[in-house]
Homo-oligomer: A and B are copies of this chain.
Amino acid sequence: MGAARETAGPVHAPSPDRLFDPEPSRRSAARELYAEVKDLPLVCPHGHVPPALLSDPDATLGTPADLFIIPDHYVYRMLYSRGVPMEGLGVPTRDGTPVETDHRRVWQRFCENFHLFRATPTGLWLRDELANVFGMTEKPSAGNARRLYDELEEKLSRPEFSPRALFRRFGVETLCTTDAAGDALEHHRSLREEGWGDTVRPTFRPDGVTDLAHPDWMDNIERLSETSGVGVTDYGSFARALEDRRAFFKEMGALATDHSALYPLVRRLPKNEAEEIFARALRGEATEEDAGSFTAHMLHEMARMSTEDGLVMQMHIGSFRDHDEDVHQRFGPDSGADIPVRADWTRGLGELLNDFGSNPRFRLVVFTLDEGAYARELAPLAGHYPAMLLGAPWWFYDSPLGMRRYLDAVIETAGLQNTAGFNDDTRAFASIPSRHDVWRRVTCDWLAEKLITGVIDEEDAGEMAHDFAYGLARRAYNLEGEPVRSTR
């Protein structure tokens, strides 16, 4: 390695053929398929981008540490696991314990440990993002951290790196945010007023009021009362308030609801039981068992409401939240210690699918953290019930190998059309194109293999590539009005 190279840092440009198998006939097929889909608009039906980032025309992405490290638990949990304290990365504490405020130091620590992201999806996204969004192809290191920071800081201050400018540059066609049931959706309202209503849409996520064990449950109920105008005093008014909010979210452009639970368990309670549990909760007397039963019941209720208002129901199942109690206490939820557990979908969804799974007015998109259920339970279920689609590989599985295992396990049994395409599920706004690009590359490479081994023909491969990249997500979320560009 020559001195010149050392000064500049190793070249870190992403290969145009990355993630394509090297066997020449397969690589060539993958390239051709990819060429047809790489520039399709991005459909982002599920994610966690704060709507304020787009509703405020003066919003910026902040410092390089704000952009890449501080809000991204994918990044800081890896550094934490190798001994870098979260305080030293500027992750804000709940109790106000001071944390690193010098973002240059945060960035320095990140660059010093950049090798930890080798062969991880986060590593891929970071490299692609630096190269493709910021035009920077040097590999971060202790030596070049300061220089990279300066360059990023300068670029981030330019108007062409504002969230809105990037949004257009990324070619995002639809981006759905995730919003609490009691959210007033002010940012969404102002986005609609500016004509962004078809582009940025809210999603109704009522976990904070349906999970009786949520630490802020009482406050969330209060906010629900306020924003719905329905004073929640019992189960009946609670259900009415939810219906009211769903209608309002729909008015604000929502396409879907979203629900998180530890288990894929849906069980309708007799009305009086639901009423009693809710009354206990209002008195602060609900038990853990109550909370479990009520969550299972509310999933059934939400499905029922979906058959009425047509909002697509999304379920994200299987994360044991806040496994590390100390990290949770100091840094709050979503701080990098949510660990998956096994799931029993076959029996857990039995009642839901019997009641609504063949209802043409219902659509259910499920996401799992237990990939053992892909081929055994989820693909057979999605391969039978008309209402059910299998969502994209989620979280830890949103990675090249995670995607391959998903494709291998799911498509043969469920068929392509019983899946829901991709979503980026991210709060890291600038990483959105990289995430979609990984999916497009991996699906094209997977299809190339099927094509070269005679499982599918060219017509199949082209249409499937287009569906993976674009069509499936649009159809799953009822975005069918706009013209769909053909691949040929």
Q: Are B336 and A384 in contact (CB under 8 A)?
A: yes
**Contact between B412 and A20, CB atoms less than 8 A apart:** no
Interface: A339 (CB within 8 A): yes
Q: Which B-chain residue is minimally distant from A405 (CB atoms)?
A: B408
The answer to whether the Cβ of A97 comes within 8 Å of any Cβ in the partner chain is: no
The bracket for how many chain A residues form the interface is: 35 or more
Check B383–A77 contact: CB distance below 8 A.
yes
Complex: chain B residue closest to A453, CB-CB: B19
Number of copies: 3
Decide if B320 touches A347 in the complex (CB within 8 Å).
yes
Q: Which residues of B contact A17 (CB under 8 A)?
A: 453-454
CB <8 Å contact, B382 and A354: no
Q: Do A18 and B454 touch across chains, with their CB atoms under 8 A apart?
A: yes
Task: Give the distance to chain B from A87, nearest Cβ to Cβ, in Å.
Answer: 13
A232 within 8 Å of B (CB atoms) = no
CA distance A337 to B354 in the complex (A): 11
The residue in A10, A375, A399 that gathers the most chain B C-beta atoms within 10 A of its C-beta is A375
B22 adjacent to A81 (CB under 8 Å): no
Q: Is the CB of A455 within 8 A of B124?
A: yes
Interface-lining segment among A99-107, A154-162, A239-247, A364-372: A364-372
- The interface bits of chain A over 165-207 (1 if a CB of B lies within 8 angstroms of the residue's CB, else 0) are 0000000000000000000000000000000000000000000
Check if A415 is an interface residue, CB within 8 A of chain B: yes
For the complex, is A418 an interface residue (Cβ under 8 Å from B)?
yes
Which residues of B lie under 8 Å from residue A457 when comparing CB positions?
A: 10, 12, 139
Stretch from A33-41, A44-52, A110-118, A215-223 that touches the partner: A110-118
Cross-interface CB contact of A78 among B396, B415, B450, cutoff 8 Å: B415
Residues 22-43 (chain A) with a chain B CB within 8 angstroms: 22-23, 25-26
Which residues of the other chain, B, contact A401 by a CB distance below 8 angstroms? 408-409, 412
Interface string of A352-382 (1 = CB under 8 A from B): 0110011010000000011110011101111
Closest to A336 in B: B384
Closest CB-CB distance, A273 to chain B, in whole Å? Answer: 23
A292 CA to B376 CA, complexed, in Å: 22
Contact bitstring A110-130, B, C-beta under 8 A = 1, else 0? 000001111111001000000
Least Cβ distance of A268 to chain B in Å?
15
Residues on B with beta carbons closer than 8 Å to the beta carbon of A83: 360, 386
* Cβ-defined contact, B415 with A120, below 8 A: yes
Residues of B within 8 A of A153 (CB): none
Contacting pair A119 B455 (CB below 8 A) = yes
**Binding stretch for chain B, among A274-282, A321-329, A426-434:** A321-329
User: Which chain B residues lie closer than 8 Å to A320 at the CB level?
Assistant: 346-347
**Contact in complex: B396, A413 (CB < 8 Å):** yes
- Asked whether A453 lies within 8 Å of B20 as measured between CB atoms, the reply is yes
Closest to A73 in B: B384
CB-CB contacts below 8 Å: A313-357 with B: 320, 323-327, 336-342, 344, 346-347, 350, 353-354, 357
CB pair B376 A370 closer than 8 Å: yes
Cα separation A324 to B450 with both chains bound (whole Å):
32
Q: Kindly state the separation between the CA atoms of A360 and B380 in the bound complex, as whole angstroms.
A: 38
A340: which of B346, B360, B382 is its contact (CB, 8 Å)? B346
What separation, in Å, do the CA atoms of A396 and B411 have in the docked complex?
A: 11
Q: Could you tell me the distance in whole angstroms from the C-beta of A318 to the nearest C-beta in chain B?
A: 8
Can you name 6 extra interface pairs (CB under 8 A) apart from A324-B357, A339-B377, A369-B376?
A19-B453, A22-B26, A81-B385, A119-B464, A342-B376, A371-B375
For the complex of A and B, list the 6 residue pairs with the smallest distance between their C-beta atoms, beginning with the closest: A18-B454, A15-B454, A399-B412, A339-B346, A22-B452, A396-B413
Residues of A within 8 A of B (CB): 10, 12, 14-15, 17-23, 25-26, 77-78, 80-83, 115-121, 124, 139, 320, 323-327, 336-342, 344, 346-347, 350, 353-354, 357-358, 360, 369-372, 375-377, 379-386, 396-397, 399-402, 405, 408-409, 411-418, 450, 452-457, 459-460, 463-464
26 interchain pairs, CB-CB under 8 A: A14-B454, A15-B454, A19-B454, A23-B23, A77-B384, A81-B382, A81-B385, A81-B415, A81-B418, A115-B417, A116-B415, A118-B415, A118-B464, A119-B412, A119-B415, A124-B455, A139-B457, A325-B354, A340-B346, A340-B376, A341-B347, A341-B376, A342-B376, A369-B376, A371-B375, A396-B412
